[in-house]
Structure 1
Amino acid sequence: MLDILLVEDDHDLAETVVQYLELENIHCDHASNGVRGLYLLQEHDYDALLLDINLPRLDGLTLCQKLRNEGKDIPVLMLTARDRLQDKLDGFRAGTDDFLVKPFELDELVARVQALTRRRSGQAQILSYGGLEMNLNRREVYRSGQRLKLTPTAWQLLETLLRAAPEAVNRQKLEAAVWGDRIPDSDVLKVHMHYLRKTVDSDFVSRLIHTVPGFGFALRENHEQG
């Protein structure tokens, strides 16, 4: 069952949405203001967020931006009565993944939720794991406070690994992240991973980049190996 959060101050609409989603086997918690919504997001790992723009105490755009600045990659579907292009551009800049304009059909809401939860959001601005921190806005990477210099290819490989960490990423996905459909021979990936491993691990006691035999690579701390 999917587990999502609805942040909406219209109680009648919220009740309708929560009940309909339950019928579709989607559990939905509800917060009536932005501060309460932010608290629930910090306490629970939801599969998606349904977020109204006009909220008391903390508006939806600010809440969304706070999540992205903290590196949260939860998919966000913004619910809004505003249908102007500028409003949508503001939402995308704040980090939302999709929009649904009120009034909306409930079956369309379900379809949007299901589509969003098939992937995590790509809107997070800071990715971090095991002392590594990647700031997507500034295009900077640090490990334990030490800045790392990466080539564009190494950046793409590390971003892909960070988004999945500590899960392993297969070679095909890493190649597609860098070269798309024009996949080079396997030695090219091997060379770039060697460079990335040297940059990320050579000046530190513990290794973060690990080879997963017959599969690919993973970012893992020592206690998560194996």
Structure 2
Amino acid sequence: MNDVLTMEQIEFQAQADQQPIVQHIDIALRPQEFVALTGPSGSGKSTLLSMAGALLQPTSGALSINQTDVLRLNSQEKTKLRLQDIGFIFQSAHLLPYLKTADQLRYVGKLAGLTKQTMDQRIQRLLHMLGLEHRQHHFPRHLSGGEQQRVAIARAWMNDPSLILADEPTASLDRERGEQVVQTLRDQVKESNKAAIMVTHDTRLFAYCDRVIYLDNGQIDHVEASVVP
């Protein structure tokens, strides 16, 4: 089985005369793997996630997504890769306030050039999958925090990406809603044969992950296996 994401000896320096923000990073992610990335503030978690998402170019090392050498791609090719292969989920849902739930997903589908039939079918499948069918005609202001994050998850899945990158997706949610969001994310990773990395400080969420990667001072300190409930 081929890895969805591989990062080998990744290093990143903001400037040539500064200490690396991350260094000696080796990560491989297979389909159906849900991995947590944790560590103290300033340890390089968000920087590493940005490189995995082809938003930030490593200073050195090798990075591939679905056997595509990301470091050889130009700006336009990276944009296409992000649209086709990567789904992003952030701390806040970042929904467009003037679009209803279904239209949030439709907007992403249009950016990716999906046909109307494909978009409509996928929207209905995702809304059903995430229990949002009764909210498809609601604006974000009429949704709860948990519902907004579920819309964000649906939006991230809209283009059927191979890799999901979630940066503190439960930071603005209470415990119950946060665990519901993470469990939904994990279940879809397993059922859809995708892979995901989630940055989190919440140790309670580790139980939903296959592995927990601990970063410290820009390097992998250790990796722990987790038992999924």
Band of TM-score, shorter chain: under 0.3
Question: What's the TM-score once normalised by structure 1's chain length?
Answer: 0.26
- Point out the structure with max Rg over C-alpha: 1
Question: What's the TM-score once normalised by structure 2's chain length?
Answer: 0.26
Of structures 1 and 2, the one with the larger relative CO (CA 8 A, separation 6+) is 2
